[in-house]
Chains A and B, each alone.
Chain A
Amino acid sequence: MADQLLQQIVNSLLIGSVYALVAIGLTLIWGVMNVLNFAHGDFLMLGMFTAFWCYTLFKMDPLFSIPVCAAVLFLLGVGIYRFIVSKVMKGPGLAQLVVTFGVSIFLANLAVMLWTPDFRLIEKPLLSGTWSLGSVQLSIPKFAASVGSVLVSAAVFFFLKRTRTGKAILAVEMNRDAALLMGINTERINSLSFGIGSALVGIAGAFLSMYYYIHPQVGGLFGLISFCIVALGGFGSIEGAFIAGILIGLVQTLGGYFFDPAYKYALVFLVYLITVWIRPQGLMG
C-alpha cells in the first residue's frame, strides 16, 4: 500500500528530527569535554516536567514555556558541571563515566519522590489534532515539534560557526591546549557547553511534552538512542548528529513497518554496529 509507505516516511522524519535535537545536545557536551553525559535522558525528562508544571501551575502552553525549559535546563546543566562534573574531570576517566550515571539514577528517583510515578499528559495543548493531506495523516503537534527541532538545530549550527563564542567552543573542541594558549577561558566554555547541551534537551522535552506522556522513567530509551545517534554521526559532530537522527528515525519506523515491530530497536542498533564497523569514527567524525 503506497499510502502507508508515504505515511511511514513522514512519521520517520517527525520522530527523527526530535531525536536529532536530543542528540545534538549530547554531542556538544561530548565534543567539548569528552564527557559522556549518561543523565541526558533524565535531563529530557526534567524538560518535559518543566513544561508540564508550567502548564499545570501557570496555564502556560508548552509552545510558550520553551524558553523556560531551556533556561531551567541551562542552569541545571551549568550547576551539574560546576559542582559535580568539573570536580571529577581531574580524576580518572572511569570516575567521569560513573558520576553522570549516578546523576541519572538520582534524578529519576528524585522525580519519583517529588512527583510520584503517575503518568501525565498535557491535556489541552494549543496545538492538537491532525491534518489529512491526501492519504497521509499529519499530527499537528508532532509536525510543530519536528519543525521546531530543525529550526533549533540550525540555530545551534549557525551559533557555532558564526559567533565568537561559538567559534571559541569549536576551538576548544578541536584542541583544548591550543585554545587555552590563544586566551580562551576553557573552563567557561566547558560550563557554557554543558549548559547549552542541557538547554537543547530541555527544548526537546518541551516539544515532546505536547504529545508524549510524561513520567520519571521516560528518558531511558530516548537517552540510549541518542548515544547511538551521537556515535553514528561521529562524536562531537553537530551535522553528523542531525543526519544520524533522521536516519535512525527512518530505520526504526520503516524497519518496524516492513520487517517486524518487535525488532525495530534491534535494527537501530544493528545499523549502528555495521556503521561503526565500516567507519569507526562515525558518518561525519
Chain B
Amino acid sequence: MDNLTRRKFLVGGGALALSPLVVSRAFAQGKTIKIGAVYPLTGNLASTGLDCKRGVELAVEIINGKYDLNLPLARTEGIPGLGGARLEVVWADTKGEPKNGQAEAERVITQDQVVGVIGAYQSSVTKTASQATERLKVPYVCSDSSSPTLTERGLRYFFRVSPHDGIFSHDQFRFLKDLEAQKKQKVQTLGVLYENTEFGSNVGKEELKYAQEYGYKVVADISYTNNATDVTSEVGRLIKANPDVLLHASYITDAILFTKTFKEMGFNPKGMLTMAGYIEPGYLPAIKADGNFIIVRSTFALDLAKKKPLVGQVADLFKKKFGIEMSENAARSFMAPFVLAEAISRAKSVEAEAIVKALRETNIPGDQVIYPWKGIQFDPKTQQNVHATGTLVQIQDQQYVTVWPFESAAKDVVWPFPAWKSRK
C-alpha cells in the first residue's frame, strides 16, 4: 500500500511537472506557433527598433496570408508543414541594453513558450540574448547584427542570415579589385580609420588583414575615440599620409564630424569606403549634399528592384502598410521570420532539435531573398549564411544608390571622388 502510494505520487507528480510543456507545445502545433522578437523598442535606439519591427510584421503577414510573391511560404497560408499553423510574434523590448536582451529572451522562452527567437539589432544585445537561448536550447535566427564574433562562438542554436563586418570588409577589397579590372582605376595606398570600441577596432583588424592579403600599402592606420569634440588632428594625419582610398568604420556622431572636417580641411582621396555611421537614418538628413560620393556598405537598397522585381513588390507592400519607404534596417529584419518558419515547416515539428536540424539543411535559393545574394545556406561549423554578401551603395544626389557588385548596380560608380573645392 505504502509502495503503491509512493509510485502513484511519483508518476502523478512527474506528469504534473511536465504538463505545462506538453499542453503548450501541443497547443502550438494545433493553431499558432509563437516566436520571440527581441528589439530596442524604447530608449535611444527606439526609432531603429521600430523600423526593424515593421520589417518583421510584414514578413509575418506574408507568411500567414496568401501572396503571389516568390518568397518562402508566401503562396500558402500559414506554415504548410504544420497544417497551416499561424505564426505569432511575441515582442520583447531590450531598451538597447545587453542585460535586458538576456532577460527578455529568457522571459519569452519560459513564459510565452516561444519556439524560436529573432533579433536584436545591436551586436552586444544579440550576444547576451543568444547566450540565453543557447542555455534554454531554443533556436535563434539573427538577420540584423553584424559583429563577426557572434558566429565564432561555436553556439549550437544560433544562426545568422546576414553578412558580418568581416564579410563587409572583404567586400571593400573585392570592390577595389573589380574597380581596377573593369574600370581601370588604380589604387595603391590605403588609409584605415576606425573608432576604437568593439565594432570599429574589429573592422580595423579585418581591413588591415585584407590589405596585406590583397597587396595594398597602408599609409595611415588611425584609431580614434568616438564622440570626440574635434577631429582635426585625425584628418591632419590623413592629409599628410595622402592615401588613395580611405576606409572608415564609424558611428553616426563621428561620421558627421569627420565629413565636415574632411571638407573644411580639404581631404581629397580618390574614394571613401565607409561603414555603419554613414548609412544610419540620421546621417544624410544632417549632412545633406556633403555626403555625396561617399561609398557605404549595405545589404539592401530600394533600387535593387531594377534588377530584382521581388524587391520592388516587397517594398510596395511595405509602403502600403506603413506609409514610409522600406529602410535597410527593416529589410534586414524582414528575412529572419522566413528562415525560421521555413525550417519549422520542413521539420514538421516545433521541437528545438528538429528545427535546428532543419535550419542546418536550409537551402533557400537566391531568387527568394530580397538581397543580391546567391541564397541562404548555413556553414556547418559557424552557422553563418555562406552566401551573405554586402553591396556597396554610393551617395549620389543625396540618395543611396547601389553601385557594387557591378552586375547589380543601379548606377555607375562616380570615381574618383570629386575634390571638395570643385563642387558647388
The reply to whether chain A is a binding partner of chain B is yes
The residues of A with any CB-CB pair to B shorter than 8 Å are 1, 4, 7-8, 11, 15, 112, 116-121, 123, 130, 137, 139, 142, 211-213, 215, 220-222, 225, 252-257, 260-262, 264-265
- Asked whether A8 lies within 8 Å of B233 as measured between CB atoms, the reply is yes
Task: Name the contact of A211 in the complex, choosing from B225, B252, B253, B260 (C-beta under 8 A).
Answer: B260
Which one of A7, A225, A262 lies within 8 Å of B229 (CB-CB)? A225
Known A-B contacts A4-B240, A7-B265, A118-B285; the reply to A221 vs B227 at CB < 8 A is yes
B230 in contact with A252 (CB, 8 Å): yes
Do B44 and A11 have beta carbons less than 8 Å apart? no
- Chain B residues contacting A222 (CB-CB under 8 Å) are 229
**Is B230 within 8 A of A262, CB to CB?**
no
Nearest residue in A to B234 (C-beta to C-beta)? A261
Q: Given known contacts A261-B222, A262-B223, is B232 in contact with A121 (CB within 8 Å)?
A: no
- Mask, B33-56, CB within 8 Å of A = 1, is 000000000001001000000000
B233–A256 touching, CB < 8 Å: yes
Q: Quick one: closest B residue to A253, CB to CB?
A: B233
B256 and A264 contacting across the interface, CB-CB below 8 Å: no
A interface SS class: helix
A8 in contact with B229 (CB, 8 Å): no
18 contacts between A and B (CB under 8 A): A4-B236, A4-B239, A117-B47, A118-B285, A119-B252, A119-B283, A119-B286, A121-B256, A130-B265, A211-B264, A213-B257, A221-B228, A262-B222, A262-B224, A264-B225, A264-B228, A264-B233, A265-B225
B266 interface contact, C-beta 8 A: yes
Identify whether the interface residues of B are mostly helix, strand, loop, or mixed: helix
Query: Once the chains bind, are A11 and B260 in contact (CB under 8 Å)?
Result: no
Interface residues in chain B, defined as those with a beta carbon under 8 Å from any beta carbon in chain A? 44, 47, 196, 222-225, 227-234, 236-237, 239-240, 252-253, 256-257, 260, 264-266, 282-283, 285-288
Residues of A within 8 A of B257 (CB): 212-213
Given contacts A119-B286, A120-B286, A213-B286, contact A15 B232 (CB under 8 A): yes
Residues of A within 8 A of B286 (CB): 118-121, 213
A120–B227 alpha-carbon span in the complex (Å): 15
Chain A residue numbers with a CB within 8 Å of B239 are: 4
CA A117 to CA B239, docked complex, whole Å: 32
Other 15 A-B pairs with CB < 8 A, given A118-B285, A213-B257, A264-B228: A4-B236, A11-B230, A11-B236, A15-B232, A119-B252, A119-B253, A123-B288, A130-B264, A130-B265, A137-B264, A221-B227, A222-B229, A261-B234, A262-B222, A265-B228
Closest to A121 in B: B286
A4-B239, A221-B227, A262-B196 known; A254 vs B233 contact (CB < 8 Å): yes
CB-CB under 8 A from B283, the residues of chain A are 119
Contact A253:B264 (CB < 8 A) given known A118-B285, A121-B287, A213-B257: no
Rank and list the top 7 A-B pairs by shortest CB-CB distance, nearest first.
A256-B233, A11-B232, A257-B233, A119-B286, A261-B224, A139-B264, A261-B234
Once the chains bind, are B233 and A119 in contact (CB under 8 Å)?
A: no
Judge whether A213 and B253 touch: CB under 8 Å.
yes
In the assembled complex, the CB of B324 is this many whole angstroms from the nearest CB of chain A, namely 15
Known interface pairs A121-B256, A130-B264; A261-B233 also in contact (CB < 8 Å): yes
Which of the listed residues A221, A222, A262 has the most CB atoms from chain B within 10 Å of its own CB? Answer: A262
CA A222 to CA B233, docked complex, whole Å: 17
**Bound-complex Cα distance A112 to B44 (A):** 8
Complex Cα–Cα for A126 and B264 (A): 16
Q: Are B229 and A261 in contact (CB under 8 A)?
A: no
Q: Considering the complex, give the chain B residue whose CB is closest to the CB of A222.
A: B229
